[in-house]
Amino acid sequence: MVGVGIVGIGSYVPPKIMTNEDLENIVDTSNKWIVEKTGIIERRISEPDVCTSDLAVFAAIKAMKMAKIKPEDIDMIILATSSPDVPLSSTAGITQNKLGCINASAFDINAVCAGWIHALEIGTKFTADNNYENILVIGAETYSRIVNWKDRSTCVLFGDGAGAAVLQKVEDGKGILGTWIKSDGSGANVIQIPAGGVRKSLSSDRFVEGEQYFQMNGRAVWDFAIDAMPEAVINVLKRVNRDLSEVDMIIPHQANLNIIKEGMKKLNLPMKKTFINLQKYGNTAGASVPIALSEAVSEGKIKSGDLVVTVAFGGGLAWGANAMIW
Ligand code: ACO
């Protein structure tokens, strides 16, 4: 028996910083409100000529470097995003071309903020197959282009970035132990972009200004998220026959510090068993978990042999968690 594990991980955020004070000049908000309600202090914003695939490329190069492999060694690219470069073709394919992964298949998946959690499970299953050696699992988002900069209830929450992992077969008992994922499509309109798909195209005469942007019922998401985070952690541990007391580190979706505190409280785990970087980047949606995992590893917060749980929740509604031995 062999396992599948992450042998390389990397992240990238654009250099341009937008602080809460900068936002005070754009919408009717305050640093105090944003910090108290979310814990976010600043976020990164892509330059106009930078797309989601560019962020993905930078993160993937770092992950491949750590894994000591070349672009042509990659057999598959799975890219989780809800802010693609274009509705069609896939951002994974555009990324493949920019990276020069000439031997790879490439496709996107969209489970919004829980996208990378789902992508890791798909990548794990493919890597276990003998036809695949190296799989890139990327989460990349450019929410600065899909939020409505006139809507203070959402634009203050998000930022841009990407995280990437290289999966390979590893010694049995190491690597990814299992995944638990779930959806509730009855909540599809709790977080949405109403227009731009086929239901209401941007050229439709039924299209109303503002509907091309991200919209969210924040209170409904809060109520969902504070239960979804502990539920996913508990269920993935049950699936892999591990106990909460054995967990060394929880890497949560960096949506909101207060949600993470509430989730950790429900799990009865101390905050020192989690990793937080949302104060620097805001919510980077499907990129937030791989960015946080990458930074936790590079800062030495995760050591070889640690039991790590990655967990996310968001649009779909979709949520889930992966358990792994680092
Ligand atoms: N600055 C100042 N005031 C604001 C702002 C702002 N940026 N945004 C809203 N307000 C005001 C509202 O208008 C409201 O004013 P009122 O009382 O006069 O009507 C007041 O603040 C309270 O608004 P609420 O929406 O009730 O605030 P709440 O306590 O629910 O906090 C928040 C809002 C932070 C968004 C919270 O609901 C939350 O975190 N929800 C979860 C969101 C989330 O995690 N999404 C992630 C999943 S989606 C994804 O990741 C893609």
Give CA–CA dist 56/74, Å, rounded: 14
Q: Which of 155, 219, 227 to mutate to test the pocket of ligand 1 (most atoms within 8 A of CB)?
A: 219
Looking at the CA of residue 258, tell me the nearest atom of ligand 1. Answer: 39
State the alpha helices, DSSP H only, in the chain: 20-24, 31-38, 52-67, 91-99, 115-128, 152-155, 218-239, 257-267, 278-281, 288-298
Instruction: Please give the torsion angle defined by the CA atoms of residues 233, 238, 242 and 244, in that order, rounded to the nearest 10 degrees.
Output: 40
* Contact predicate 120/286, CB 8 Å: no
| Residue 155: predicted pLDDT | 98
Residue 222 Cβ < 6 Å to ligand 1? yes
- The whole-number mean pLDDT for each consecutive block of 10 residues of the chain, a chain of 326 residues, reads 90 98 97 98 98 98 98 98 97 98 98 98 95 97 98 98 98 93 98 95 89 96 97 98 97 98 98 98 98 98 97 97 97
pTM for this predicted structure:
0.97
Give CA–CA dist 16/191, Å, rounded: 27
Residue 283 Cβ < 6 Å to ligand 1? yes
Q: Is the dihedral of CA 154, 183, 323, 103 positive or negative?
A: negative
Is 253 a known active-site residue? yes
For ligand 1, the distance from its centroid to the CA atom of residue 224, given in whole angstroms, is 14
Concatenate the DSSP letters of all residues of 207-272 into one string: --TTTTS-EE-HHHHHHHHHHHHHHHHHHHHHHTT--GGG--EEEE--S-HHHHHHHHHHHT--GG
Other CB atoms within 10 A of residue 111 CB: 23
From-to residues of CATH 3.40.47.10 in the chain: 2-173, 177-325
Residue 259 Cβ < 6 Å to ligand 1? yes
Which residue in 61, 37, 8, 14 sits closest to 280, CA to CA? 14
Q: Which of 22, 37, 43 to mutate to test the pocket of ligand 1 (most atoms within 8 A of CB)?
A: 37
Helix, strand, coil share of the chain (percent; to 5): 40, 25, 35
State the residue for tokens 């990276």: 99
Is 113 a known active-site residue? yes
Token code pair at residue 107: 């496709």
Give the DSSP letter of residue 86.
S
**253, 256, 277, 322: the active-site residue:** 253
| Residue 146: predicted pLDDT | 98
Residue 152 Cβ < 6 Å to ligand 1? yes
Residue 314 Cβ < 6 Å to ligand 1? yes
Residue 315 Cβ < 6 Å to ligand 1? yes
| Residue 173: predicted pLDDT | 83
State the residue for tokens 């998220």: 225
Residue 287 Cβ < 6 Å to ligand 1? no
Q: Which of 31, 113, 153 to mutate to test the pocket of ligand 1 (most atoms within 8 A of CB)?
A: 153
Give the fold, CATH level 3, of 177-325: Peroxisomal Thiolase; Chain A, domain 1 (3.40.47)
For ligand 1, the distance from its centroid to the CA atom of residue 222, given in whole angstroms, is 9
Around 165, how many Cα atoms within 13 Å sit in the side-chain half-sphere? 31
**20, 51, 101, 113: the active-site residue:** 113
Give the DSSP letter of residue 114.
G
Residue 221 Cβ < 6 Å to ligand 1? yes
Residues whose CB is less than 8 angstroms from the CB of residue 274 and which lie 6 or more positions away in sequence, other chains included? 249, 250, 251, 252, 260, 264
Looking at the CA of residue 112, tell me the nearest atom of ligand 1. Answer: 51
* Contact predicate 229/311, CB 8 Å: yes
Is 256 a known active-site residue? no
Give CA–CA dist 215/153, Å, rounded: 9
Pick the CATH number of 2-173 from 3.40.47.10, 1.10.730.10, 3.30.300.20, 3.40.50.2300: 3.40.47.10
| Residue 1: predicted pLDDT | 55
